[in-house]
């Protein structure tokens, strides 16, 4: 087997997480957000597995991603393109049976001659990032309804802060949007939005990061880790107290230590901000990162795992011990960035 770092993708856990999220809103359709190559874990395998488990609605950012998902899931599934159409991609919507999410006047104008292809309408209810203004319901409501959208949606900006007042404000604003399109399914809840209660569920929910083991759900909800990221030990060596470690000597050994250098680095998606704070796990023992993360290498303290510290052994950097949210917090980032940043040198395995 290759000595390159590897990501073992636990497809059964992704399905379990999708079912867990679906149980929160049993009267709603639960879609799967699989943009950015299924958050770095492989869109073809992930979507095919979810489709086989009963998921019939998928969201991606670009039509090119949608074409990959269509090939994986076949016909009979809805695939929504969140970033909408462009003149150069109009043909992809027809060719692959994709649904454009229209979020601007330019999108609406572009779609004016594409009435035979389904569309969804995205309204901005307070995030101020992407979406039609809610005022468009007064100025162009009849024209928008005449487009016969198959879905209306918006996006929560603060759902991961349950008590934030903007959640309730966006719910109120979006409820008015949904009322303006009677009989059309509506969607507001992202992963964290699914935890806010069934008022946020409407007819369709859109979990993304939660499918891959991210977010911090309420205590009653348990998500499974979707990936185990492992890298091989290249060398094991002792250092004396006072020895500097790594680029710019940002770590100095406080006492005699046993260190191991692992074949993993920021070219593989382990951020430089993980320097001196990430934890690798060797044989169930936590081994802190010592010194700077470099392009291809990380050094860890294996003083408490000496029996297992051998060249060729693999260290877990994401997985059942190294949970993605915990590692993200250590590196002062978010789980989304860790997963989507996994590099091309990281071999994906699907046991």
10-residue mean pLDDT profile of the chain (351 residues): values are 92 98 97 98 98 98 98 97 96 96 96 86 97 97 96 98 97 98 98 97 98 95 97 98 97 98 97 97 98 98 97 97 97 97 96 93
Q: Which pTM does this prediction carry? A: 0.96
Q: Residue 1 has what pLDDT?
A: 66
Whether 187 maps to a domain, the answer reads yes
Q: Which domain holds residue 92?
A: 11-212
Question: What distance in Å separates the CA atoms of residue 49 and residue 188, rounded to the nearest whole number?
Answer: 25
Please name the helix (run of DSSP H) or strand (run of DSSP E) that holds residue 288, with its range, or none: strand 285-288
Distance, CA of 24 to CA of 215 (rounded, Å): 15
Total tally of structural domains belonging to the chain: 2
The residue out of 212, 246, 281 marking a domain boundary is 212
Indicate whether 175 and 288 sit together in one domain.
no
Residue 31 pLDDT: 98
Q: What's the confidence (pLDDT) of residue 54?
A: 98
The active-site residue out of 71, 247, 323, 350 is 247
Do 166 and 196 touch, CB atoms closer than 8 A?
Answer: no
Indicate whether 34 and 149 sit together in one domain.
Answer: yes
| End-to-end Cα separation, the chain, in angstroms | 14
Same domain assignment for residues 280 and 206: no
Within 10 A of 90 (CB to CB), how many other CB atoms are there? Answer: 17
Evaluated on CA atoms 107, 108, 112, 117, the torsion sign reads positive
Whether 261 and 294 map to the same domain: the answer is: yes
The active-site residue, picked from 35, 212, 266, 336, is 35
Residues 151 and 289 in one domain: no
Q: For residues 184 and 254, state if they share a domain.
A: no
55 lies in the same domain as 179: yes
Q: Residue 117 has what pLDDT?
A: 87
Q: Give me the CATH number covering residue 287.
A: 2.40.37.10
| 221 falls within a domain | no
Find the angle CA(266)-CA(208)-CA(318) to the nearest 5 degrees: 35
pLDDT at 112: 86
Residue 195 annotated in active site: no
- Is residue 218 one of the residues assigned to a domain? no
Q: Is 39 a catalytic residue?
A: no
pLDDT tens digits for range 125-134? 999 999 999 9
CATH of the domain at 55: 3.20.20.10
pLDDT computed for residue 116 by the predictor: 81
Query: ∠ at Cα 83 (43, 19), nearest 5°?
Result: 45
Which of 187, 212, 237 lies at the terminal end of a domain, its last residue? 212
Nearest Cα neighbor of 149 from 191, 177, 189, 190 is: 177
Q: Which of 212, 246, 263 is the last residue of a domain?
A: 212
């Amino acid at each position: 087997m290759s000595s390159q770092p590897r990501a073992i993708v636990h497809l059964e856990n992704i399905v379990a997480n999708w079912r867990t999220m679906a149980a929160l809103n049993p009267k709603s359709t639960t879609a799967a957000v699989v943009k950015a190559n299924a958050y770095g874990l492989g869109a073809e395998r992930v979507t095919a597995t979810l489709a086989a488990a009963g998921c019939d609605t998928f969201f991606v950012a670009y039509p090119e991603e949608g074409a990959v998902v269509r090939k994986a899931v076949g016909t009979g599934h809805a695939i929504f393109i969140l970033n909408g159409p462009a003149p150069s991609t109009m043909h992809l919507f027809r060719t692959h049976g994709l649904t454009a999410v229209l979020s601007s006047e330019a999108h609406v104008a572009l779609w004016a001659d594409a009435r035979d292809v389904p569309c969804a309408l995205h309204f901005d209810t307070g995030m101020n990032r992407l979406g039609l203004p809610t005022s468009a319901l007064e100025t162009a409501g009849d024209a928008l309804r005449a487009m016969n959208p198959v879905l209306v949606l918006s996006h929560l900006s603060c759902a991961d802060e349950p008590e934030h007042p903007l959640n309730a404000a966006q719910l109120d604003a979006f409820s008015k949007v949904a009322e303006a399109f009677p009989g059309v399914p509506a969607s507001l809840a992202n992963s964290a939005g699914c935890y806010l209660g069934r008022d946020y569920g409407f007819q369709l929910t859109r979990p993304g990061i939660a499918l891959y083991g991210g977010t911090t759900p309420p205590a009653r909800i348990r998500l499974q880790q979707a990936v185990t990221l492992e890298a091989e030990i290249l060398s094991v060596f002792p250092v004396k107290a006072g020895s500097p470690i790594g680029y710019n000597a940002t770590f100095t050994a406080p006492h005699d230590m046993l260190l191991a250098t692992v074949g993993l680095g920021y070219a593989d998606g382990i951020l430089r901000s993980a320097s001196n704070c990430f934890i690798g796990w060797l044989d169930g023992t936590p081994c802190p990162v010592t010194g700077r993360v470099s392009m291809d290498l990380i050094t860890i303290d294996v003083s408490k795992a000496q029996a297992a510290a051998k060249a060729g052994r693999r260290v877990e950097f994401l997985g059942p011990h190294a949970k993605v949210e915990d590692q993200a917090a250590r590196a002062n980032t978010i789980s989304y960035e860790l997963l989507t940043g996994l590099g091309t040198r990281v071999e994906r395995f699907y046991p």
